[in-house]
Chain A
Amino acid sequence: MLVYKNEMRIGPKDDRSHRKIPFTLHRPYKGLQIAFSYTPKQTAVEIAGIGETAADNLITVSLACEDDYIGAYHNPNPEQVLRIAGDASSPGFIRYPVRAGAWELQLAMHAVLSEVLIELAVEVFG
């Protein structure tokens, strides 16, 4: 079941900020899947004393359920599929039963150096 799906257009004004995406699950599920991507990964920036050079946009996903921090995947891959479940989770996330309650995904905009398109979808299953 799709819980959240959105395309976000962000830019340098969003650089070094967190975007909170809360959602509620009304019953437990076997697993949760986050499909996350952004483009472009690399862009050109003007640096004083260096001139124009290439640098990477970097956005990461972290996840919490109520007061429990479940993890983050701090990795430069701009296309990620992240799974959470009680018996196994993707690297970066602890094993965690997908329970009913208030969940929150956060996007950490570590570097947003150009206009960036983010695609994000959260699904639960089982």
Chain B
Amino acid sequence: MRYVPVETHAHTLHSDGSFTFEALVEQAKTFGYAGLMLTDHNTRSAAEGYRGDFPVLGGEEWTTFYGHLLVAGDAGNTDWRTLLPENIDTVLRQLKVNGAVTGMAHPFATGWPFCTGCRWEFPVTDWDAVGYIEIWNRDEPQEQQASEDAFGLWLAKLKEGYRIAVSAGRDWHRPEKSGRLPAVSYLGMQDIVSAEAIRKAMAKGNLYITLGPTLGYRLQQGERSLYLGDVMEQAPVMLEAQIGKTEIEALLQRPVSHVVFRLLNNETVLKESADHALQWEGVPAPGYLRLEAAGEVSSQICRYLISSPIYVR
């Protein structure tokens, strides 16, 4: 398993972005992404007929009155206009059956009347059907209160026993202002990067998010290797994890000074390290394991890397 940077939230001039589709793909390659999820508002027309080598998972951002839902990887034949507060659980489950990956976009952004639906208001009850929460949105997400609020929502739902991944979405509409940098989602790939491999990683929750540094890990339960998004038995496991330097040149402009690397089990710290590596052996409690790293970024202490969970039965 290797983890590659994929932009999970991007727009073109087929909605309110300023990139042509071709320019978006070129910008993505230049930045260092290995793939892209195309998520124009309420349309998939930008990638119509695309046969290029750069992996692009077709999707859209369902831009409804009560929330923006990222939907990708299905045939696109579910009509966003049918989504209502009273059928949100049913529609989310149906999308999953249809092979879609779904995620709540920027749930704590400023909403109506400035950006209708940008703030999530759908009354979800089946949080397992959500897929993932975009807890980091746009550039410099560590500076935004909305990121903390979304992180808090994600933890609350994990503690309730739901299985939900995290994502970082650049919500890329046009080149950012000079000096503003995005966070990146790293997706797990078994072999070659393809649109289908992106879909599978997102569907499973096999991704972590970072302001730059990378995550490497080996989690073994007997002979079985476990990855983010997996469900494991409550039995002894052995973890070795390391934080590596960023692979993306542009992100070197935002230095991260490491402070702590943690392994958490239902928010109880199992292991904490001031180094860039940690090891742990033991039997985790039923619930979830996750990794995170915090450090100093632009004179502020914040989480700079957050993994999606591995679940313990």
Q: What's the dominant secondary structure at chain A's contact region? A: strand
Find out whether the CB atom of A111 lies under 8 angstroms from the CB atom of B112.
Answer: yes
Among the 9-residue stretches B12-20, B27-35, B99-107, B231-239, the one with 4 or more Cβ atoms under 8 Å from chain A is B12-20
Q: Indicate whether B51 reaches chain A with its CB closer than 8 angstroms.
A: no
**Chain A window 88-126, contacts with chain B (Cβ cutoff 8 Å), 1 for yes, 0 for no:** 010111110000000000101011010000000000000
Within B265-299, the residues touching A (CB, 8 Å) are none
Q: Point out the residue from A55, A76, A93, A111 that lies within 8 Å of B45, measured CB to CB.
A: A93
Find out whether the CB atom of A75 lies under 8 angstroms from the CB atom of B113.
Answer: no
**Chain B window 14-56, contacts with chain A (Cβ cutoff 8 Å), 1 for yes, 0 for no:** 1110000000000000000000000011111110100000000
Within B62-85, the residues touching A (CB, 8 Å) are 63, 65, 76-77, 79, 81
A18 to B43, CA, bound (A): 17
Q: How far is the CB of A101 from chain B (nearest CB, A)?
A: 17
- Interface footprint category on B: 20 to 34
Find out whether the CB atom of A95 lies under 8 angstroms from the CB atom of B15.
Answer: no
Q: What's the dominant secondary structure at chain B's contact region? A: loop
**Chain B window 196-236, contacts with chain A (Cβ cutoff 8 Å), 1 for yes, 0 for no:** 00000000000000000000000000000000000000000
Q: Point out the residue from B43, B77, B79, B112 that lies within 8 Å of A16, measured CB to CB.
A: B112
A28 to B16, CA, bound (A): 31
Q: Indicate whether A71 reaches chain B with its CB closer than 8 angstroms.
A: yes
Q: Indicate whether A9 reaches chain B with its CB closer than 8 angstroms.
A: no
A111 to B64, CA, bound (A): 11
Q: Indicate whether B117 reaches chain A with its CB closer than 8 angstroms.
A: yes
Which residues on B are within 8 Å of A, measured CB to CB? 12-16, 40-46, 48, 63, 65, 76-77, 79, 81, 112-114, 116-117
Which residues on A are within 8 Å of B, measured CB to CB? 16, 18, 45, 47, 55, 58, 60, 62, 64, 67, 69, 71-76, 89, 91-95, 106, 108, 110-111, 113
